[in-house]
Amino acid sequence: MDYRKLGPSGTIVTAYCLGTMTFGAEADETASHRLLDDYFAWGGNFIDTADVYSAGLSEEIIGRWLKARPSEARQAVIATKGRFPMGNGPNDIGLSRRHLGQALNDSLSRLGVEQIDLYQMHAWDALTPIEETLRFLDDAVTAGKIGYYGFSNYVGWHIAKAVEIAKANGYSRPVTLQPQYSLLVRDIELEIVAACQDAGMGLLPWSPLGGGWLTGKYKRDQMPTGATRLGENPNRGSESYAQRNAQDRVWAIISAVEEIAKARGVSMAQVALAWTATRPAVTSVILGARTPEQLADNLGAAKLTLSEEETTRLSDVSAPQPSDYPYGKAGTDQRHRKMEGGR
Instruction: Give the residue numbers annotated as catalytic, written as ranges.
Output: 53
What is the overall mean pLDDT for the chain?
92
DSSP collapsed to 3 states, 130-152: HHHHHHHHHHHHHCCCEEEEEEE
**Tell me, what's the pLDDT at 229?**
59
Q: What percent of the chain has pLDDT over 90?
A: 83
- Interstrand relation of 202-203 and 176-178 (parallel, antiparallel or unpaired): parallel
The whole-number average pLDDT for the span 220-245 is: 64
**Tell me, what's the pLDDT at 245?**
78
Vertex 27 angle, CA 95 and 67, to 5°: 70
Beta bridge partners of 287: 18
Tell whether the model's pLDDT for residue 332 goes beyond 80: no
Q: What percent of the chain has pLDDT over 70?
A: 90
Secondary structure (DSSP) of 29-83: HHHHHHHHHHHHHHT--EEE--TTGGGGHHHHHHHHHHHH-HHHHHH-EEEEEE-
pLDDT digits (tens, 9 = 90+) for 197-214: 999 999 999 999 999 999
| Residue-range definition of the domain harbouring residue 286 | 3-339
How many Å separate Cα 4 from the centre of its chain? 16
**Tell me, what's the pLDDT at 343?**
42
Q: Domain count for the chain, please give it.
A: 1
Tell whether the model's pLDDT for residue 325 goes beyond 90: no
Q: What is the CATH number of the domain that holds 124?
A: 3.20.20.100
Tell whether the model's pLDDT for residue 339 goes beyond 50: no
pLDDT digits (tens, 9 = 90+) for 100-115: 999 999 999 999 999 9
- Interstrand relation of 285-287 and 16-19 (parallel, antiparallel or unpaired): parallel
Query: What distance in Å separates the CA atoms of residue 144 and residue 8, rounded to the nearest whole number?
Result: 19
- The reply to whether the predicted model has a pTM over 0.85 is yes
pLDDT digits (tens, 9 = 90+) for 239-292: 667 777 778 899 999 999 999 999 999 999 999 999 999 999 999 999 999 999
